[in-house]
Amino acid sequence: MKRVFAGAVLALVGGAALAGPVVVETAVRPLARPAGGGLPVAEVSGEGFGAWVEGFKARAAAKGIAPELLERAFDGVEYDPKIITRDRNQNEFTKTIWDYLDTAASDLRVTNGQAALKRERAALEAIEAEYGVPKEIVTAIWGLESAYGTYKGDTDIVEALATLAHDSRRGAFFEQQLMAAFEILQAGDVAPRNMKGSWAGAMGHTQFMPTSYLGHAVDFTGDGKRDIWGDDPQDALASAAAYLADAGWVEGMPWGLEVVLPEGFDYEIAGEHEVRTAAEWNAMGVRDVEGRPVPDHGPASIRLPGGAKGAAFMTFGNFMVLERYNTADAYVIAVGHLGDLIAGGKRIQSGWPREDRALTLAEREELQTRLEAAGFDPGGVDGKIGPLTLAAVRAFQKSIGVVPDGYASLAVLQKLR
């Protein structure tokens, strides 16, 4: 078994961490994206695409990509306006965390995950021994990224990345990904038309972006190729584990656990930036769902993705490691919870405020605008609910005498109105 690296780029498509009922995309993989123009297909223009491709070929050739490969890989490639439309509308399609978890950790996904783990047990146990990442966590990532290999995406990656790179909104990022894709092709790990994946450029069983592949993909089977696309998932599963190990995964440390908060808990100390020891949390009366003191797995935070009325989680250092794979808190909780369920653990015990709904992009922008106008700095108006917006929500809640849980809900927006 051999690890192969060509850099250390941690670049899966991602964005701000999510919290509250705000936003997880309708796809199982919640990739947060910058707000876009939301243009319908008819208004998306591919004018100049051919000239752009010729320019890219020249730039790629100057970096050592073989001209013959460039000609072969671009043969038949066309501008796809549907990809641009999807990219620009991603922030409009949202779910609450509980709706997302209902799908991400459904009974069927758990059952299929247990079957997948059983089928690949020998490889997954060897991967766990090599990288220290639990087989259930690797299996959960596999389940969320490609439904255990049943849907890896059938989009031509060269065409998708070329289309996105030609678009000026995030052209530089996607040209970097396209250049990395050609490095992969030139290495011979996959043929151009077999390089398939999602419309946004993520590839294979574990949906690696090309730069992440170059930095972290491994040849676990020892056949001389880092094959994350084929029917055999071993290289892809090992690559996901290698990615997490490189990001600092601590062997033996859980991602987190559900906890019960005591009466009168100070919600101002909830959040990823408030870190305490297990002894400190225990002294405050925080307990696991069985009523026991929380175990000591190092410094920990309390997260409330559904606000004070939803489940509370104590999260450890490996939570942040999983965020390197995908920055959305909802995704990390889904991976951790699905992994726990695959291992035979219990479902989340607390309820959720299911009467709430996710804010639309326009409402998230309005929330930030109104917070700013009221003197609570959300860090700009971009429709992304990150740490600064959550802190502004918490400060606003405290100013009006409601529980300062930082939950960016419709009720908060209505009070701002």
How large is the average pLDDT for residues 287-300? 97
389 located within any domain: yes
Helices then strands (H, E): number in the chain?
17, 8
Residue 239 and residue 376 in one domain:
no
Q: Does 80 have pLDDT greater than 90?
A: yes
285 located within any domain: no
Q: Which of 211, 246, 281 is the last residue of a domain?
A: 246
Q: Which of 246, 276, 293 is the last residue of a domain?
A: 246
Domain count, the chain: 2
Helix 157-166 with 67-74: angle, nearest 10 deg:
90
Closest to 169 in 3D by CA, of 54, 14, 35, 328: 35
367 located within any domain: yes
236 located within any domain: yes
Closest to 363 in 3D by CA, of 375, 381, 379, 390: 381
How large is the average pLDDT for residues 362-384? 95
How large is the average pLDDT for residues 303-313? 96
228 located within any domain: yes
Spatial CB neighbours of 122, under 8 Å, sequence gap ≥ 6: none
- Put residue 26 in one of left, alpha, beta given phi > 0 → left and psi -120 to 50 → alpha: alpha
Residue 21 and residue 159 in one domain:
yes
State both tokens at 141. Answer: 């990532």
Residue 93 banded pLDDT, cuts 50, 70, 90: low
Q: Which of 212, 246, 280 is the last residue of a domain?
A: 246
Helix spans in 231-314 (H): 234-246, 278-284
- For residue 263, what is the DSSP state? T
**pLDDT tens digit sequence for 30-41:** 333 333 333 444
Residue 52 and residue 189 in one domain:
yes
**pLDDT tens digit sequence for 168-209:** 889 999 999 999 999 999 999 999 999 999 999 999 999 999
Q: Are 352 and 306 in contact (CB under 8 A)?
A: yes
End-to-end CA distance of the chain: 59
181 located within any domain: yes
Q: Which of 231-245, 252-266, 380-394 has the lowest mean pLDDT?
A: 380-394
CATH number for the domain that contains residue 152: 1.10.8.350
Active site residues: 145
Tell me how far apart the alpha carbons of residues 62 and 201 are, in angstroms, rounded to a whole number: 23
How large is the average pLDDT for residues 13-17? 32
> b/e string for 11-28 if b means 16 or more Cβ within 10 A?
bbbbbbbbbbbbbbbebb
Residue 228 and residue 373 in one domain:
no
Tell me how far apart the alpha carbons of residues 234 and 254 are, in angstroms, rounded to a whole number: 23
Structural domain including 179 reads 2-93+147-246
State both tokens at 241. Answer: 């584990």
275 located within any domain: no
pLDDT at 88: 83
Pairing type for strands 256-260 and 312-315 reads: antiparallel
385 located within any domain: yes
Q: Are 407 and 308 in contact (CB under 8 A)?
A: yes
Q: Does 241 have pLDDT greater than 70?
A: yes
Q: Does 27 have pLDDT greater than 50?
A: no
How large is the average pLDDT for residues 24-28? 34
> What is the CB-side half-sphere exposure of residue 272 using CA atoms within 13 A?
16
Q: Report CA-CA distances (Å) from 91 to 323, 363, 384, 401.
A: 19, 11, 9, 31
Which helix (H) or strand (E) segment holds residue 276: the answer is none
